């Protein structure tokens, strides 16, 4: 059967092409409509037949010119609709652009963290370096600078990161604690959210967070504040420096949304290093959102966009991977896959043991 790309009419194809040509215009108009409170105001008038440009202008103290140009492109982009007597309402697309939590997190991440940097994507592909990162700061990878990012950018980065892992931690903890590990290493523990959840889940488990110094300071301050100073400790590491090492004695090594921050070669080094720190009967658990494990095209699309964030801003050489790449690397690192478990709507946990 022919697919859409061959059956599409030329007139529709050129319309799609034009939408892409001006996609940043529609995106920035959406940002303005959100920030200026125009979406909120239109939505609040939905039960009284909508609102016209003059009423919006008076309510928000913005020129009718400004509101006009934003709403014209929003109407053509199916974000708002207009009645015959020029009253605006949000369409379903407009509603989700303003009120859906996942869309909200993605829009803020795109605007605050990625937008300016994305301009440098072509150079990043050619040079294999995150050439857009200079728009945020003077670092080799974004992870060096995370704790120093300006507040609004930092907030958007962390909300994006947490949004895609927080919800599955409850399900994940049941798998993590099946064999009652006494010592967990949380590799890439970030702000300490998993360490906190694990410490609450078990009243005796010890967690060692392994991360860059900037994140480790934040994570340990958070876990100390929550009363877990005795059970949550840290180990500073930069996996990109030569000969990284972790302490011995882990019953369980936990890596959540972490290995996607590295190239395949780097992942192999990390896995091999962690195998050395793992007790002989211990488990290494990898939780990821794999591109080939998504039920919805939309989820795959979000992951593909996230890959470009890695290319242009994060490090220049990593991506969201299909599971098959990890299965190969697990084997090469001296591990054997014991279980392959779907958690939540998007995540997979690979349970590995030493060979
Ligand atoms: C995407 S976050 C994962 C956060 C958390 N595990 C979760 O599930 O939400 C990636 C983590 O890897 C850490 N990381 C990135 N590059 C690193 C490096 N070169 N050395 C050590 N840690 C690194 C970051 O500091 C960050 O905490």
* Interval between CA 260 and ligand 1 midpoint (Å): 9
Asked if residue 160 and residue 50 are part of one domain, the reply reads: no
Mean pLDDT of 3-28: 91
The tokens of 263 are what?
């190239």
Asked if residue 129 and residue 64 are part of one domain, the reply reads: no
Mean pLDDT of 211-230: 96
pLDDT of residue 13: 96
CB atoms within 10 A of CB 340: 13
Decide whether any atom of ligand 1 lies within 6 Å of the 238 Cβ.
yes
Question: What is the number of structural domains in the chain?
Answer: 2
Percent of the chain topping pLDDT 70: 99
Q: What is the pLDDT of residues 117-170, one digit of tens each?
A: 999 999 999 999 999 999 999 999 999 999 899 999 999 999 999 998 888 999
CATH number for the domain spanning 23: value is 1.10.10.10
Asked if residue 113 and residue 86 are part of one domain, the reply reads: no
Rounded Cα gap, residues 335 and 354, in angstroms? 5
Give the residue whose CA is nearest to atom 10 of ligand 1.
258
Mean pLDDT of 240-249: 97
Give the residue whose CA is nearest to atom 22 of ligand 1.
211
Asked if residue 112 and residue 77 are part of one domain, the reply reads: no
249 to each of 215, 253, 274, 283, 287, how far by Cα in Å? 23, 10, 10, 12, 21
Tell the burial category of 37 from Cβ atoms under 10 Å away from its Cβ (0-12, 13-18, 19+).
middle
Asked if residue 108 and residue 93 are part of one domain, the reply reads: no
State the sign of the Cα–Cα–Cα–Cα dihedral 202, 207, 212, 218: positive
Query: Would you say residue 1 has pLDDT above 50?
Result: no
Mean pLDDT of 297-307: 95
Apex CA 130: angle with CA 240 and CA 254, to 5°? 45
pLDDT of residue 164: 86
The domain boundary residue, chosen from 37, 70, 99: 99
Residue 190 CA, closest ligand 1 atom number: 27
List of residues 6+ apart from 80 with CB closer than 8 A:
42, 71, 74, 88, 89, 90, 91, 94
* Interval between CA 261 and ligand 1 midpoint (Å): 7
Decide whether any atom of ligand 1 lies within 6 Å of the 256 Cβ.
yes
Are 223 and 230 in contact by the 8 Å Cβ rule? The answer is: no
Are 50 and 87 in contact by the 8 Å Cβ rule? The answer is: yes
* DSSP H or E stretch at residue 349: strand 347-354
Asked if residue 112 and residue 76 are part of one domain, the reply reads: no
Asked if residue 84 and residue 142 are part of one domain, the reply reads: no
Mean pLDDT of 211-222: 96
Strand 88-90 relative to strand 347-354, pairing? unpaired
Asked if residue 309 and residue 218 are part of one domain, the reply reads: yes
The domain boundary residue, chosen from 80, 99, 118: 99
Residue 215 CA, closest ligand 1 atom number: 25
**Which residues span the domain enclosing 93?**
4-99
Asked if residue 149 and residue 93 are part of one domain, the reply reads: no
Q: What is the pLDDT of residues 77-95, one digit of tens each?
A: 999 999 999 999 999 999 9
Among 94, 97, 131, 90, which residue's Cα sits nearest to residue 111? 97
pLDDT of residue 44: 98
Residue 161 CA, closest ligand 1 atom number: 9
CATH number for the domain spanning 157: value is 3.40.50.150
State the sign of the Cα–Cα–Cα–Cα dihedral 340, 323, 159, 237: positive
Query: Would you say residue 5 has pLDDT above 90?
Result: no
Asked if residue 318 and residue 278 are part of one domain, the reply reads: yes
**What single DSSP character describes residue 146?**
G
Q: What is the pLDDT of residues 272-281, one digit of tens each?
A: 999 999 999 9
Asked if residue 107 and residue 76 are part of one domain, the reply reads: no
Lowest mean pLDDT among 36-50, 157-171, 222-236, 327-341: 157-171
Q: What is the pLDDT of residues 180-205, one digit of tens each?
A: 999 999 999 999 999 999 999 999 99
Rounded Cα gap, residues 12 and 166, in angstroms? 40
The domain boundary residue, chosen from 69, 99, 129: 99
pLDDT of residue 165: 82
| Structure confidence at residue 114 as a pLDDT band (50, 70, 90) | very high
Asked if residue 320 and residue 210 are part of one domain, the reply reads: yes
Mean pLDDT of 259-269: 98
Rounded Cα gap, residues 25 and 19, in angstroms? 9
Mean residue pLDDT of the chain comes to 96
Mean pLDDT of 104-111: 98
Decide whether any atom of ligand 1 lies within 6 Å of the 309 Cβ.
no
Percent of the chain topping pLDDT 90: 95
Residue of 216, 218, 261 with the most ligand 1 atoms within 8 Å of its CB, for mutation: 261
Rounded Cα gap, residues 76 and 265, in angstroms? 46
pLDDT of residue 209: 98
pLDDT of residue 4: 59
List of residues 6+ apart from 250 with CB closer than 8 A:
183, 184, 185, 208, 274, 277, 278, 279, 282
Are 36 and 62 in contact by the 8 Å Cβ rule? The answer is: yes
Q: What is the pLDDT of residues 59-81, one digit of tens each?
A: 999 999 999 999 999 999 999 99
């Amino acid at each position: 059967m022919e697919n859409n790309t061959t059956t599409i009419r030329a007139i529709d194809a050129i319309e799609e092409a034009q939408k892409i040509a001006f996609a940043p215009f529609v995106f920035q108009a959406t940002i303005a409509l959100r920030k200026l409170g125009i979406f909120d105001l239109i939505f609040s008038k939905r039960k009284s037949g909508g609102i016209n440009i003059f009423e919006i202008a008076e309510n928000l103290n913005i020129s009718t010119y400004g509101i006009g140009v934003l709403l014209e492109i929003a109407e053509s982009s199916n974000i708002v609709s207009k009645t015959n007597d020029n009253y605006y309402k949000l369409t379903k697309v407009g509603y989700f652009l303003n009120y859906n939590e996942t869309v909200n997190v993605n829009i803020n991440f795109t605007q605050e963290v990625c937008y300016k940097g994305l301009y440098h994507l072509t150079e990043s592909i050619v040079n294999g370096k995150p050439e857009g990162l200079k728009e945020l700061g003077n670092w080799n990878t974004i992870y060096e600078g995370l704790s120093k990012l300006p507040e609004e950018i930092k907030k958007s980065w962390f909300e994006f990161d947490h949004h895609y892992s927080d919800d599955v931690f409850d399900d994940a903890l049941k798998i993590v604690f099946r064999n009652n590990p006494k010592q967990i290493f949380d590799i890439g523990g970030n702000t300490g959210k998993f360490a906190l959840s694990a410490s609450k889940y078990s009243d005796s488990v010890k967690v060692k967070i392994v991360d860059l110094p900037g994140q480790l300071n934040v994570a340990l301050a958070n876990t100390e504040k929550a009363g877990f100073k005795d059970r949550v400790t840290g180990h500073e590491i930069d996996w990109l420096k030569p000969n990284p090492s972790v302490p011995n004695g882990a019953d369980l090594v936990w890596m959540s949304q972490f290995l996607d921050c590295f190239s395949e070669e780097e992942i192999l080094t990390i896995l091999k290093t962690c195998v050395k720190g793992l007790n002989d009967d211990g488990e290494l658990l990898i939780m990821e959102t794999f591109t080939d494990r998504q039920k919805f095209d939309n989820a795959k699309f979000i992951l593909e966009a996230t890959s470009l964030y890695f290319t242009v801003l994060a490090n220049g050489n990593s991506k969201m991977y299909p599971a098959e790449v990890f299965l190969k690397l697990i084997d090469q690192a001296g591990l054997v896959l014991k279980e392959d478990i779907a958690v939540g709507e998007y995540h997979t946990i690979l349970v590995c043991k030493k060979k």
